[in-house]
Amino acid sequence: MTSHLSERVATRLPGVVTRSGMADVAAGLILCVIGLLVVPPIPLTIGQYVGYVLVVIGASLAVAFRRRVPRTALMILAVLLVVHLVVFDVPSVVAGLACLVAAYTTQTQLVPPWRWVFLAGAYAGGLAAMLRSTALSDDLQTRAFAVASVSVAISLAATLGMLRRQRRTRYDLAVERAAVLEGQLDTERRLAAFEERHRVAREMHDILGHSLNAIAAQAEGARYILTSDSARADRALKDIAHLSRTAVDDVRDVIDVLRTENEDVSPRPDPSLRELSDLINTLQTPGTIIKLQVDGDVDAVPSRVSLAAYRIAQESLTNAIQHGRSPITVRLTIEAGSLGMTVVNAATSSPAADGERRGHGLIGMQERARAYGGTFAAGRDAATGGWRVHVHLPWSRS
């Protein structure tokens, strides 16, 4: 999406070019009017007057097109000023103005070496006109003053052109920097959107994966005790209904956050290690025994770290129920500034379980641990032959 800054720049530049072209046309018309009204202060023949008018019109056209074709326009001005210098032995107002415009244009429209070549030509033409002029006395001091005055005027025009070029260069650099910054912002927005999609996908995986596996476990348990213990079977069915409604509500909360642009809208409070015992209760079935061992105060764990540990425990338990055997043990060790969690289940029912587990679940748990500077390890326990998941999550108290 294009930002407001780019839109302003994109709409401003064509307007600048149009105004500049109109200004050049206006300058050409003004030069033409001045040239026709202020003729050289000498008697002119008809041929000389016609030649003078052609010089004025040609110089005016060159000034009008000096930005579009600067080198061509300056070459035309140079030729016309040379013709003026040869035909008339006195300077004219139009010749002086054209020379100053040429000096200004060399600095605003040309690049080296043409910039300095044409500027040297402007100096040479102005000095030649002063030295050849019959309107000045032969006094050396008078001609030296005239030469110095022309040199200063040309230098001033060139300096103004140089300042204008530097200002335009700074403007172009500012526009370029703005474009680069906007590109960086666009990249950051894309990365943020990708990270948000990744986070939502991970949350959906955790919610649906846990809920569906828990429902499947409760359903299997209900089938197992349906004929022998109707009361426990009824509780299992109630747990299935509760898990289904909770999963639907959780998914709806995540989708509602994506649909709204209001940053204040948030889903229900994230789970933490305080809800770990409730999680284990929903997964307990007659065929699945889960033990929880806690060493330390779960309330001392920061909320974000607690959420990450809860999600890792949730995924680990889901995998253990799906691929492993009972009993399953969850051990929490909470120390100053760190949390250690180990989930161990009995020997797996099939050697293929190792390959089955190498999916998005392990990758998601590993990413959660790394996001907090922690470590994650999963594999067979050499002592028991079961599957072991261990995570260490540090945090700073500063």
pLDDT, tens digit, for every residue of 95-145?
889 999 999 999 999 998 999 999 999 999 888 888 887 767 677 888 888
DSSP E strands: which ranges in 210-366? 290-295, 325-335, 338-347
- Most confident of the following: 7-16, 49-58, 187-196, 223-232: 49-58
DSSP E strands: which ranges in 250-337? 290-295, 325-335
Residue 260 phi, psi (nearest 5):
-100, 150
pLDDT value of position 286: 67
- Cα 212 from Cα 24, distance rounded (Å): 76
Angle, vertex CA 24, rays to CA 22 and CA 28, nearest 5? 115
Angle, vertex CA 53, rays to CA 52 and CA 57, nearest 5? 120
pLDDT value of position 178: 86
pLDDT above 70 for 264: no
**% pLDDT > 70, the chain:** 71
pLDDT above 70 for 258: no
- Most confident of the following: 20-29, 318-327, 350-359: 20-29
> What does pTM read for this prediction?
0.47
pLDDT value of position 350: 43
Average pLDDT over residues 165-173: 91
**% pLDDT > 90, the chain:** 26
Which of these, 57, 47, 91, 93, lies nearest to 77 by C-alpha position?
A: 57
* Structure token digits, residue 144: 């030296």
* Structure token digits, residue 18: 């149009």
Average pLDDT over residues 334-348: 86
Average pLDDT over residues 324-340: 87
Task: Report CA torsion sign: 146, 150, 155, 157.
Answer: positive
